[in-house]
Amino acid sequence: MQAYRASLLHFHADPAFSDDAHHWHEDGLLLVDDGHVVAAGDYATLHATLAPGTPLHDYSGKLITPGFIDTHVHYPQTDMIASPAPGLLPWLETYTFPTERQFADPAHAARTAEFFLDELLRCGTTTAMVYCTVHAASVDALFAAAGQRQLRMVAGKVLMDRHCPEWLRDTAETGARDSEALIRRWHKNGRALYAITPRFAPTSTEDQLRLAGELATAWPDTFVQSHVSENADECRWARALFPQARSYLDVYERCGLLRPRAVYGHCIWLDDTDRARMAATGAAAAVCPTSNLFLGSGLFDFALADRAGMRVALATDVGGGTSFSMLQTMNEAYKVARLTGSYLPALRMFYLATLGAARAMGLEGTIGAFAPGAEADFIVLDPQATPLLQRRTSHCASLEELLFALALLGDDRAVAATYAAGNRVHVRDAA
């Protein structure tokens, strides 16, 4: 057993729909044994229950929360973050496809996977839904590196059989066959979980999407991930390629790709029927504000999503996104909400980056909160990480103000330590 003393914050409900959604222990204690949470509560109460000699890690003055969950990120795009282009489609052609080509080399994939995971951990992200490339070995590299760090990661091979360079193409059949082999190799292997990953409707034939949907039905506890309704040009293209579908989202539904554990990046240009279908099928939206602002894609409407009862979570979408930090992602999400007439309290944003994401992924009880028995993925946030944070957080009148300052001013510097499965996997001030 290990004990961690700090302020503790975690959630049992969505603050947008409940006034009693979070647990807050100003002087708290988190008890961890064998990689799992034993208890989270007040220091005064829990400390008395500890066996003599239980190691106590004192993070007093800091804040422990569940590790952040990034529900949409491309590890192969790490090296092309911050590459300028006038919109999504030219950005894909100019930077993304040539960058992803390098993952034909397994050694390059292995090196990039190591850097990517270390960067996630520096930012306090302990679980992510990750796009690999079309190459099966890019998935092996990511899961091998995640396994060494005992991380709960969801990832999959990109499926792409048209409208991309010939050197990045699979076929409907080889894509499905390779995906199934990867599912058998990796799904539930340690903490790894597999996501069937058609890149987006424009780069797949209907045959490929259908086979992906059949795989998703045959393996119902796998994940599905794709992009939808991100950019106006992309939406026009998808509609022209699939004229028989009611909408861009409907292309996926017709192929059996809307279901629980299906997570769709962006979802900006959905209509009310689409939102109702997302809610009814249990699919979730991964909202990527730094990417949407960077590529000029549009503004996600949180109020419309909430009204429809959609599952929503936050995501970086690196390399379209401009930061690996979920704190910086909250910062931009807040501003996007303001521009669409919504308001995102900091408490809601921390929910969306932890329990809300776990719920969107069907992983409540496993990650995202400190329920007894949950996996012990947690982070230590430092409200005094920078001179400015220190100055601002020295006079917060409420928890909301403290969290808001961390979200707006924080980044990797605010993450003092990161733990996965009870092991410390990052420490900021390592000598």
Is the CB of 270 or the CB of 376 nearer to ligand GUN? 270
Query: Does an H or E element contain 348, and which?
Result: helix 346-352
Among 112, 208, 291, 393, binds ligand GUN (CB under 6 A): 291
362 binds ligand GUN per the rule CB under 6 A: no
The nearest distance, CB 182 to ligand GUN, in angstroms, is 19
By the 8 A CB rule, do 390 and 383 touch?
Answer: yes
Both tokens of residue 390?
A: 């220190």
Interface pick for ligand GUN out of 71, 96, 112, 138 (rule CB under 6 A): 96
Using CB under 6 A as the binding rule, whether residue 88 contacts ligand GUN is answered as yes
The alpha carbon of 163 is separated from its chain's Cα centroid by a whole number of angstroms, namely 27
Which range, of 56-64, 88-96, 248-256, 364-372, touches ligand GUN by CB under 6 A? 88-96
Q: Taking the complex as a whole, how short is the minimal distance between the CB of residue 402 and ligand GUN, in angstroms?
A: 32
Q: Does 112 bind ligand GUN (CB under 6 A)?
A: no
Which two three-digit tokens encode residue 169? 């193409």
Q: Does 200 bind ligand GUN (CB under 6 A)?
A: yes
Secondary structure of residue 111 in the 3-state scheme: helix
Of 74, 191, 259, 261, the one binding ligand GUN (CB under 6 A) is 74
CB-nearest residue to ligand GUN: 320
| 392 contributes a contact to ligand GUN by CB under 6 A | no
Those residues whose C-beta lies under 8 Å from the C-beta of residue 184, and which sit 6 or more positions away, are none
CB-nearer residue toward ligand GUN: 187 or 227 = 227
Q: How far is the CB of 110 from Zn ion (least distance, A)?
A: 22
Does residue 61 have a cis peptide bond before it, meaning omega lies within 30 degrees of 0? no
User: Which of 66/298 has CB closer to ligand GUN?
Assistant: 298
Which pair of tokens denotes residue 386?
């920078």
Binding site for Zn ion (CB under 5 A): 265, 317
End-to-end CA distance of the chain: 26
List, in order, residues 6 or more apart from 310 with CB less than 8 Å away: 267, 275, 278, 279, 284, 285
Task: Name which of 74 and 275 has its Cβ closer to ligand GUN.
Answer: 74
Nearer to Zn ion, 116 or 378 (CB): 116
Burial class (CB in 10 A: 0-12, 13-18, 19+), 20: exposed
Q: Whose Cβ is closer to ligand GUN: residue 319's or residue 362's?
A: 319
Q: DSSP assignment of 147-184, as one string?
A: HHTT---EEEPEE--SSS-GGG---HHHHHHHHHHHHH
The item of Zn ion, ligand GUN, none sharing an interface with residue 426, based on CB under 5 to 8 Å by kind, is none
326-339 vs 399-409: helix crossing angle, rounded to 10? 100
Q: Binding of ligand GUN at residue 426 (CB under 6 A)?
A: no
Q: Which residues share a beta bridge with 359? A: none
Residue 415 structure tokens: 């993450």
How near is the Cβ of 165 to ligand GUN at its closest, in Å?
13
Q: How far is the CB of 6 from Zn ion (least distance, A)?
A: 34
Q: Report if residue 99 touches ligand GUN, rule: CB under 6 A.
A: no
4 close to 54: Cβ distance less than 8 angstroms: no
Toward ligand GUN, which CB reaches closer, 270 or 380? 270
Q: Which amino acid is at 32?
A: V
Q: In whole angstroms, how close is the CB of 142 to ligand GUN at the nearest point?
A: 15
From the list Zn ion, ligand GUN, none, pick the one residue 100 interacts with, judged by a Cβ distance below 5 to 8 Å according to partner type. none
Residue 57 in contact with residue 3, Cβ under 8 Å? yes
What minimum distance in Å lies between the beta carbon of 63 and ligand GUN? 31
Which is nearest to 326 in space by CA: 299, 355, 350? Answer: 350
User: What is the chain's alpha carbon radius of gyration, rounded to the nearest angstrom?
Assistant: 21
Q: Which is nearer to Zn ion, 15 or 265 (CB)?
A: 265
Binding mask 303-322 for ligand GUN (x = CB under 6 A): --------------x--x--
Contact flag: residue 80 with ligand GUN (CB under 6 A):
no
Max CA pair span of the chain: 69
Residues with Cβ within 8 Å of 139's Cβ and at least 6 positions away in sequence, in order, are: 132, 155, 156, 157, 182, 186
- H/E segment holding residue 306: helix 302-308
**Residue 70 binds to ligand GUN (criterion: CB under 6 A):** no
Site for ligand GUN in 211-230 (CB under 6 A): 227, 230
What residue ranges bind ligand GUN (CB under 6 A)? 74, 88, 92, 96, 199-200, 227, 230, 291, 317, 320
